[in-house]
């Protein structure tokens, strides 16, 4: 009988311990908990708990007392912020990306995939100068008749003037970074 009573007592003790661990759903959580309970609730070590208090992430009120609801929310916010900052590029990543872009531009320039605007302007001026020089010699090549030559020069001057204005617009659009097709559309519209 004594053995059975001891066994019943042990069984009741185990059931009581289980019931104590699994609190009913309507029980209220404590406002304040100790450091061990707080660390256990957050799934961290007591040492990490103290580090987070020192870093200002968590709050401690009094000796070994932690406001449970506040610290759980603060811990969740801290974890979310940590994950977000992992996804965002750091300044070192941005610097690396910037250097990669710089190297890519330099390589494109060396491969002549891109040219400097000053080089493009020089080439354009050279082509236009050669074109205008050739245009100027046409009247003399066409006729020896001075009257006819003046008439042809007048036509050539008008065309030179028109082309000069067009070339100026193209050069300006290159300097502003606009496509020359946009300049052509503006000329056609106006």
Contacts of 183 (CB under 8 A, 6+ apart): 169, 170, 172, 173
**Lowest-confidence range among 75-89, 106-120, 124-138, 170-184?**
170-184
Q: Answer with the residue of higher pLDDT: 169 or 179.
A: 169
Q: What is the pTM of this model?
A: 0.37
How much is the average pLDDT of 170-182? 74
pLDDT at 1: 47
- Kindly tell me if the per-residue pLDDT of 72 is higher than 90: yes
Phi-psi region of 50 (alpha: psi -120 to 50; beta: other; left: phi over 0): alpha
DSSP label at 28?
Answer: P
pLDDT at 45: 93
pLDDT at 43: 93
Burial annotation 143-153 (CB, 10 A radius, 16+ → b, else e): eeeeeebeebb
How much is the average pLDDT of 27-56? 90
Percent of the chain, pLDDT > 90? 26
Cα 32 to Cα 42: distance, rounded to the nearest angstrom? 14
Question: Is 42 in contact with 71 (CB distance < 8 Å)?
Answer: yes
Which range of 18-32, 61-75, 114-128, 170-184 scores highest in mean pLDDT? It is: 61-75
**Lowest-confidence range among 22-26, 56-60, 132-136?**
22-26
Cα 79 to Cα 69: distance, rounded to the nearest angstrom? 16
């Amino acid at each position: 009988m004594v053995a059975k009573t001891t066994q019943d007592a042990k069984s009741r003790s185990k059931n009581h311990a289980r019931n104590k661990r699994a609190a009913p759903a309507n029980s209220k959580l404590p406002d304040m908990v100790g450091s061990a309970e707080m660390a256990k609730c957050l799934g961290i070590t007591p040492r990490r708990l103290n580090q987070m208090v020192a870093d200002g992430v968590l709050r401690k009120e009094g000796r070994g007392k932690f406001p449970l609801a506040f610290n759980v929310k603060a811990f969740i916010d801290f974890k979310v912020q940590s994950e977000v900052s992992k996804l965002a590029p750091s300044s070192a990543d941005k610097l690396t990306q910037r250097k990669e872009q710089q190297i890519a531009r330099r390589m494109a320039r060396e491969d002549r995939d891109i040219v400097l605007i000053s080089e493009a302007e020089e080439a354009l001026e050279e082509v236009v100068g050669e074109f205008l020089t050739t245009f100027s010699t046409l009247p003399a090549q066409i006729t020896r008749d001075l009257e006819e030559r003046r008439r042809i020069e007048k036509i050539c001057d008008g065309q030179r003037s028109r082309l000069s204005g067009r070339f100026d617009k193209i050069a300006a659009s290159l300097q502003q970074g606009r496509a020359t097709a946009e300049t052509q559309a503006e000329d056609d519209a106006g």
